[in-house]
Each structure stands twice: as structure tokens, then as C-alpha cells.
Amino acid sequence: MSKNVVFSIILFVLIAVVLEVSSYLVIERVLRPYGVYYVAEDTPRYSSMQKNWHPEFGWPNPKILGPPTRDESGARVNPYFPELTRPCISIYGESAVFGSEVEDQDAWSNVLSAELGCRIANYGVRAYGLDQALLRFRGNAADRSGIVMMGAPPSVISRHVNQFRVLLPHTRRSPGQRPLIGLKPRFVLNESGDLEFVELPLDPLTREAYGALVEAPEEYLQAEYFQVNGETGLSRKSFPYTLSLIRGMNHFLVRSRAVGKEWYADLYEENHSSGALELTAALYSAFHDEAIASGRRPLVLLFPTAESIEDFRAGEGWLYQSLMDKLDQLDIPYLNIGEGMVARIGDRDACEFYYRCIPHANAEGSKIIAEIVQEYLAAHTALYPITSPPPVEAVTHAVHGNIRQPAN
């Protein structure tokens, strides 16, 4: 064998080693922490899942749905109306609706409550999808308000086509931090366009069943859009790492970052393969119709993110415009809070009104949101009359009573 051939082989091996090591480092230190790859060892332990399991709604831990963080009705503590009078307004949604990151007195719903002079019951729950919020709305015997609202920021659309939370990208994580915990039920649209309920995976939650799901989620989560080895580009890390890195470049989070848009933006496309837009509109429609049937006045609240505000001010329109178009077609009243915020914050950076620029408003942003909702209600008093009902006997919220424990 000639020296040139030996040299070529050695050079090829060195290049291959450098590529493999470099690829491995990029995978481990850059991509893996953000959920670009599915790694079974990264999933929450069974003991953690046990502590974060609700037999009806999936995540989160049922303990957060009751005292001391909430009153006996299951609503957020309202320091302006500590007595459990019948609320004039009740609200459902996720953490932006609940008002995470601010104290009770600064939560937008409580600020609005003080301005209106009546108790508002905020039943928002951190990390909920609108599917879970709809289930909570349906089962809330304590809610006897005349006006009921439901809302969320645009990223919530991803949760409606997801069941195992670890499969979503971890956009706010840092290296070494475990993925967020959660299994949840969801709805799908049948051929007639009606909502059909997909049961909570793993009921009961046994150690054996959970272990099997962690090893092969694609075999257990048939209604999961963010599937391992599916069209989103989520794959398993494997040798050779150079090829694994190339597969990772096809992950939707990487693709969206490369073109400078939000990772969930494609889900707002009409007739997207996930069906997320149509499903989200159907969830709001179900909420609207069921509220009307129960004799209440519904209103959908669309919460902006700082990014969506900046994009709108840059002339790109609202990321969730397609959803507003759907709501218009369905004749569902909604309030785009983004428009009011743009009108109020002037030339200031939108992130100044959010906690660390995530979709949770800070105290100043919460006050603005309360003003926007109050202004809307004042402009539509015929549709949304505000009254202060007399006190009623407190009713314990169904979701934190008689909690069924997971199996061992």
C-alpha cells in the first residue's frame, strides 16, 4: 500500500472523527436541551409523573387547583373580594390568563375586578391547553357567573395537537434542566367537523405502562402530532452522530428559527396537516355555544406575546390572524388584546410589559390588559352587563375534590 493511500486513509479517519465529535457536541450542547431529539432518559421519572397527574385533565398537579394558591371555589385568590360571592365574570385558560409571575393584587383579572366593583373568578391553570380549559369549564359546578371568558396566547395552539408534553420543544430551557412534565387528553375533529374526545393516555398510570410509553411514545400516542420520527422532524439521537445532526436540522424548531419565525407559526396555516387551526377554532366554538346554552355571555380573549406585538408593528400582521378570521366566520365575539396594547405602549419595547419577555405580563402589562378588557366591556354593556350578585353559599370546585390517585 502506497504512502499516499495510507495518508488518505488516515486523513479520512481524522476528518470522520472530527465530524463525529463536533456533531456530538452540537447535538448535546446546542440541540438536545431544546427537545430537538427524543431521549427517553430525559423524560420525567415515574415518581414525578405521579405527583403531577390529574385523572381527568392530565397535567398539572391537582394540588395547585385548591388552597392555598386558590380559594375554595378553585379560582385564583382575589384580595379585593375575598368572600366567595357569586362572580360577575369567570375566566378560563392557561398561565397568561391566570397571570403567572405577578402577585394576586397585580393579576390582570383582579385589577379588573377592583375596577368593576365585583368579584371575578379566574380559573386559569398554568400550561393548560384550551381543551383542558374547556373540560374545566364544563365540570365547574361552582361557576355561576353571568359572563364567562376563555383565552390564551398564540403558542397554546401547539397543545391542542399534543398529549405528551416532553415532545414539544423546550424553548425556555437551559442545559441540564429536565423537560416539563405532563400527559394530557385532547380532542380531534371527526369527518363531520365535530369534536371527539381522546382519552387521557395511561389510565391508570402504572409504572410499567409509563415505562413502556417512555421507550416508544409513537406506539402509545396515536393522536399525537409531535410524534417521534414523524413529520415534525423529531428523531432519536444515534450513531453516527453526523447523520443524526443532519436529521436534527429538519426539526421544525430549527427550521422556524432559521427563517426568523415562531416555532408554532405554521400551525396557524389553513389546512395544515396537524389540523391545529381548525381544532382551536372548534374548541372556542364549543366554549361559546355551551356558554350560550347555559344562559351566560361568552367572550374569547386573544392574548398577544411581545414577539407578536413587535411583528405587527413591523407590518407583518397578527400571527393569529387566521384564527380571528375563523372566529369571525363562526360569529364568535372576541377581543384581540394585542390591538389595545399596541395603542397604549407607544414606541416602547413590548418586552417591557412582560416578565422576561415570555408570554406572561408583568404588573404594568397586567394593568394595561385590565384596562383593555374594561374598555371593551364598557363599549358593549348591552351584551355584557356587569352586575354584583348577592353572596351565595361556597361550592367546592369539582377538580380538587375526590382526586383519584395514580396506581403504583
Residue 8's pLDDT is 76
Q: What is the pLDDT of residue 202?
A: 86
**390 and 153 Cβ atoms separated by less than 8 Å:** no
Q: Which amino acid is at 254?
A: V
3-class secondary structure per residue, the chain = CCHHHHHHHHHHHHHHHHHHHHHHHHHHHHHHHHCCEECHHHCCCHHHHHHCCECCCECCCHHHHCCCCECCCCCECCCCCCCCECCCEEEEECHHHHCCCCCHHHCHHHHHHHHHCCCEEECCCCCCCHHHHHHHHHCCCCCCCCEEEEEECHHHHHHHHCCEHHHCCCCCCCCCCCCCCCECCEEEECCCCCEEEECCCCCCCCHHHHHHHHHCHHHHCCCCCCCCCCCCCCEECCCCHHHHHHHHCCCHHHHHHHCCCCCCHHHHCCCCCCCHHHHHHHHHHHHHHHHHHCCCEEEEEECCCHHHHHHHHCCCCCCCHHHHHHHHHCCCCEEEHHHHHHHHHCCCCHHHHEHHHCCCECHHHHHHHHHHHHHHHHHCCCCCCCCCCCECCCCCCHHHCCCCCCCC
Query: What is the distance between the alpha carbons of residues 148 and 286, in angstroms, rounded to a whole number?
Result: 13
Q: Is the peptide bond before 390 cis (omega within 30 degrees of 0)?
A: no
Nearest to 229 by CA among 239, 30, 219: 219
What tens-digit pLDDT sequence spans the chain (408 residues)?
687 777 778 888 899 899 999 999 999 999 998 999 999 988 888 988 888 888 788 887 777 778 888 999 999 999 999 998 899 999 999 999 999 999 999 999 999 999 999 999 999 998 899 999 999 999 998 899 999 999 999 999 999 999 999 999 986 544 445 556 789 999 999 999 999 999 988 888 899 999 999 999 999 999 999 999 999 999 999 999 999 999 999 999 999 999 999 999 999 999 999 999 999 999 999 999 999 999 999 999 999 999 999 999 999 999 999 999 999 999 999 999 999 999 999 999 999 999 999 999 999 999 999 999 999 999 999 999 987 554 444 444 443 333 333 343
pLDDT at 399: 39
Please list the residues that pair with 38 across neighbouring strands: 236
Task: Evaluate whether 128 touches 391 at the Cβ level (below 8 Å).
Answer: no
Q: What global pTM score does this model have?
A: 0.91
Q: Which amino acid makes up residue 96?
A: A
Q: In which residue are the cell numbers 367546592 written?
A: 396
Q: How many C-beta atoms surround the C-beta of residue 45 within 10 A?
A: 12
Contact between 245 and 25 (Cβ < 8 Å): no
Q: CB neighbours (10 Å) of residue 17?
A: 10
Q: Which domains does the chain have, with CATH numbers?
A: 22-400 (3.40.50.1110)
Residue 76's DSSP bridge partners are 70
Spatial CB neighbours of 204, under 8 Å, sequence gap ≥ 6: 406, 407
